Homo-oligomer: A and B are copies of this chain.
C-alpha cells in the first residue's frame, strides 16, 4: 500500500518517469523510453523502463489502460497526496510562487 509508494519513489529513474507523465499524460512504453533517452540522456533498456513502470503501477502511482497493441500510462497523484500529509498534517505549505 503506502509502503510501496516510498519504495517506488526511491529510484531516480522512476521519478523521471513521473516527471515525464506530468508533462504529458497517457504515454506508451516506447514513448517514455525514447524521451528518457533523448531528453535526459539515460541509456536504459526497454525492459528496465518496463519494470519501473510495473513498480509504479503496483504502488498506485500509475494507471495503465490497454488499447489494441498499445498500453497507455496515466499518472495518479492520489497516493502522493496522502504521503504528503503524513508528517505535515498540521498545516500544508503554501504553493510555490
Contact = CB atoms under 8 A, between A and B. Distances in A.
A80 interface: yes
Interface stretch (A33-41, A42-50, A65-73, A89-97): A89-97
Interface residues of A, number: 25
14 contacts: A3-B12, A6-B9, A6-B12, A7-B10, A9-B10, A15-B86, A80-B87, A80-B88, A81-B88, A84-B88, A85-B95, A85-B96, A89-B96, A92-B92
Interface of A: 3, 6-7, 9-10, 12, 15, 18-19, 22, 75, 77, 80-82, 84-89, 92-93, 95-96
The 9 closest A-B pairs by CB, nearest first: A10-B10, A84-B84, A81-B93, A6-B9, A6-B10, A85-B96, A80-B87, A22-B87, A77-B87
